[in-house]
Amino acid sequence: MTATEFAIISSIKVVVVVLAVLTGCAYATWLERKLVGHFQHRIGPNLAGPFGLLQPIADAIKLIFKEDIVPDNAERVTYALAPILMFIPAMLNFAVVPFGDTVTLFGHKIDMVVSDLNIGILFVFAVTSLGVYGIVLAGWSSGSKYSLLGGIRSSAQMISYEVAYGLSIMGVLVIAQTFSLNELVAQQASVWHWFIFRQPVGFVIYVICAIAETNRSPFDLPEAESELVAGYHTEYSSMRFAMFYIGEYANMISVSCVATTLFLGGWQGPFLPPVVWFVIKVIFFMSVYIWIRATLPRLRYDQLMYLGWKVLFPLALLNVMVTSLIVLL
């Protein structure tokens, strides 16, 4: 494959992945509203198109044409950049996630991953940590005390759960002896080799920390409408607000993709095409996300800190130590 062909194929993969993720974000909102509606004995969106499937398009049009209001006392440059700083890291995660096996098209073997880095999981860690900067800067630059408190909460929450989040995956890496996401999927060829069965404690810790990292209920303290109006994005409207909205759902899909790759065998599965299996597992994980939101009430802030530092962190550390001892013996 020549350098030109490689560049063309890589560009096509980037465009396809970006469009797929943006479409997924739009219809994740539809899925959430439908599932939460059923959980609460409501109908959910059902007027815009069959089964309400055109509702995300209607929402997008509404947000595009809404007035973009900027507070008088906002720090305008940072205020404008903050939604972008949340949106871009959310999208970068998908660069290293393998969506399927190698396919042959027009005589070329094409890997179903944008970039097969041999340190893919480290890239995910690094990029995931950057998203909080957008939230913190949005809270500070808005000139609102509610937004500022939401941004501060988010930074404290990220620091508290990032440690246990990293340690939850360490058990998988100790067993697999690789940082490559493609190699991790290859080691889960059969169902009984999935890391969810070899690292059940790590999986549970990962799920809890991932929900906290993405500021989803019951860990949605940075928004907390009962206390902070809407937290860090209180002063945002129109497409700036939409970028925060898309960034949140992109982070949810990203976390679901990483969980699928690390613990649920990635794209591995019988009969169906690999990409289909990958999408099914991601939708399952997203549905669990939404199920948890509909079930659990928001934690108090002291409970959030207690769970992160005094429960999950020691438990994750113990899991790594036990796993390392078993592998050594």
Phi-psi category of residue 103: left, alpha or beta, with phi > 0 → left and psi -120 to 50 → alpha: beta
Q: For residues 3 and 8, what is the distance between their CA atoms, to the nearest angstrom?
A: 9
β-pair partners for 103: 110
Does residue 9 form part of some domain? Answer: no
| Alpha-carbon torsion (129, 12, 282, 115), positive or negative | negative
CB 32 within 8 A of CB 245: no
Q: How far apart are CA 190 and CA 292, in angstroms?
A: 28
Q: Residue 81: its pLDDT value, please?
A: 87
Packing angle of the helix pair 238-263, 3-39 (nearest 10 deg): 100
Closest CA relative to residue 78, chosen from 66, 86, 90, 67: 86
In a domain, 252, yes or no: yes
- Split into its structural domains, the chain has a count of 1
CB proximity list for 87: less than 8 A, separation 6 or greater = 134, 243, 244, 246, 247, 250
Residue 271 placed within a domain:
yes
Q: Is residue 60 part of a domain?
A: no
Residue 92 lies in a domain: yes
| CA angle, 233 then 237 then 241, to 5° | 55
Q: How far apart are CA 126 and CA 100, in angstroms?
A: 23
- Listed as ranges, residues in the chain with pLDDT below 50 are none
Angle between helices 76-92 and 120-141 (to 10 degrees): 160
pLDDT (tens digit, 9 = 90+) per residue, 208-226? 998 888 888 888 887 777 7
CB 215 within 8 A of CB 248: yes
Per the structure, the complete domain to which residue 242 belongs is given by 70-328
Q: What does the pLDDT read at residue 72? A: 77
Among 162, 124, 155, CA closest to 137: 155
The whole-number pLDDT of residue 1 equals: 64
Taking phi first (over 0 means left), then psi (-120 to 50 degrees means alpha), and beta for anything else, what does residue 106 get? left
pLDDT tens digits for range 171-207? 899 998 888 888 888 888 888 889 999 899 999 999 9
CB 151 within 8 A of CB 222: yes
DSSP string, 159-187: HHHHHHHHHHHHHHHHHH----HHHHHHT
Which pTM does this prediction carry?
Answer: 0.88
CA-based nearest residue to 121, from 189, 80, 178: 178
Is 61 among the domain residues? Answer: no
What does R_g of the chain's alpha carbons equal in angstroms?
A: 20
Q: Is-contact 91 250, C-beta < 8 A? A: yes
Helix or strand (DSSP H, E) at 326? helix 313-328
pLDDT at residue number 230: 72
Tokens standing for 116?
A: 């097969």
Please, which residues bridge with residue 104 across strands?
109
| Residue 154, domain member (yes or no) | yes
| 151 belongs to a structural domain | yes
